[in-house]
């Protein structure tokens, strides 16, 4: 897997006019989006991870194997002050979604310890409304006991039976293969 950082975009208009398929990562600040990009790339420091949430509002773009772009969208839900600045999360998301003609799949990342929070539900609702293909990554399962993880998954799965929830952890590699498969299927689908 050869993954490279392409650029940071601060407005949807700065996004590259590339024809390559795009896979976007969406989720709250600190939920593990950048860590998952590194995990997928098999690299430690391709995407900058941070214990300090919400430092950047940029859209970061990575190219994987010269075949598709991985789009790291700004995290949501960290501070109210940030959210009220400019267009805010909802504006950013709808701008991006309407601009991204080649968007093939969204990985919506949630923290397995918290399940679906209010702003995750907002994001999920937007994806359903706009009929965008997505899976939900039920992340950081290493922080949960096996039974708590299974129970949390059952709960979200029962509420949304048609959505694919993939348990994942960067700590032990759980779920990585399944996420890669979902990406491959989406990149190949025309
Ligand atoms: N235990 C555990 N920690 C994780 C996992 N994924 C990310 N983290 C940690 O969560 C914090 C935020 O991760 P980051 O990838 O920067 O989140 P982002 O803001 O969504 O990009 C960092 O301290 C990561 O090391 C995981 O699967 N398990
Ligand atoms: Mg990040």
Which of 31, 35, 82 to probe ligand 1 with, by most ligand atoms within 8 A of CB? 35
Q: How far is the CA of 178 from the centre of ligand 1 (A)?
A: 19
Spell out the residues 6+ positions from residue 167 whose beta carbon is closer than 8 angstroms to its own. 112, 138, 141, 149, 153, 174, 175
* Alpha carbon of 185 to ligand 2 centroid (Å): 25
Q: Among all ligands shown, which has an atom nearest to the Cα of 54?
A: 1
Q: How does pLDDT run across 108-148, given as a tens digit for each residue?
A: 999 999 999 999 999 999 999 999 999 999 999 999 999 99
Nearest atom in ligand 1 to 139's CA: 27
Q: Could you tell me which residue, 113 or 87, shows the higher pLDDT?
A: 113
Closest CA to 75 of 40, 127, 129, 26: 26
> Structural domain boundaries of the chain?
3-188
pLDDT of residue 81: 46
How far apart, in whole angstroms, are the C-alpha atoms of residue 34 and residue 30?
A: 9
Q: Give the pLDDT confidence score for residue 51 in this predicted structure.
A: 66
Ligand 1 pocket (Cβ < 6 Å) reads 27, 29-35, 49-51, 53, 75, 139-140, 142-143, 169-171
Residue found by looking up tokens 């990985």 in the block: 107
Helix (H, G, I), strand (E, B) or coil at 107: strand
Dihedral (C-alpha) 33, 175, 22, 135: value to the nearest 10 degrees?
-90
Residue closest to 77 by CA, chosen among 112, 113, 121: 121
Tokens of 75: 């995290």
Which of the following CATH numbers is that of domain 3-188: 3.40.190.10, 3.65.10.10, 1.20.1250.20, 3.40.50.300? Answer: 3.40.50.300
């Amino acid at each position: 897997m050869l993954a490279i950082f392409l650029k940071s975009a601060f407005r949807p208009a700065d996004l590259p006019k590339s024809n390559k398929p795009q896979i976007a990562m969406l989720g709250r600040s600190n939920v593990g989006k950048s860590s998952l990009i590194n995990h997928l790339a098999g690299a430690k420091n391709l995407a900058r991870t941070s214990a300090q949430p919400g430092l950047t509002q940029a859209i970061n773009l990575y190219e994987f194997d010269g075949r598709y772009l991985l789009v790291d969208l700004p995290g949501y839900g960290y501070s109210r002050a940030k959210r009220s600045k400019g267009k805010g999360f909802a504006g950013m998301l709808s701008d991006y979604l309407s601009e991204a003609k080649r968007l093939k799949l969204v990985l919506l990342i949630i923290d397995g310890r918290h399940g679906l929070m209010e702003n995750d539900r907002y994001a999920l609702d937007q994806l359903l409304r706009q009929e965008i293909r997505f899976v939900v990554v039920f992340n950081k399962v290493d922080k949960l006991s096996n039974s708590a993880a299974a129970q949390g998954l059952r709960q979200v799965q029962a509420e949304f039976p048609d959505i694919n929830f993939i348990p994942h952890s960067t700590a032990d590699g759980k779920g990585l293969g399944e996420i890669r498969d979902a990406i491959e299927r989406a990149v190949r689908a025309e």
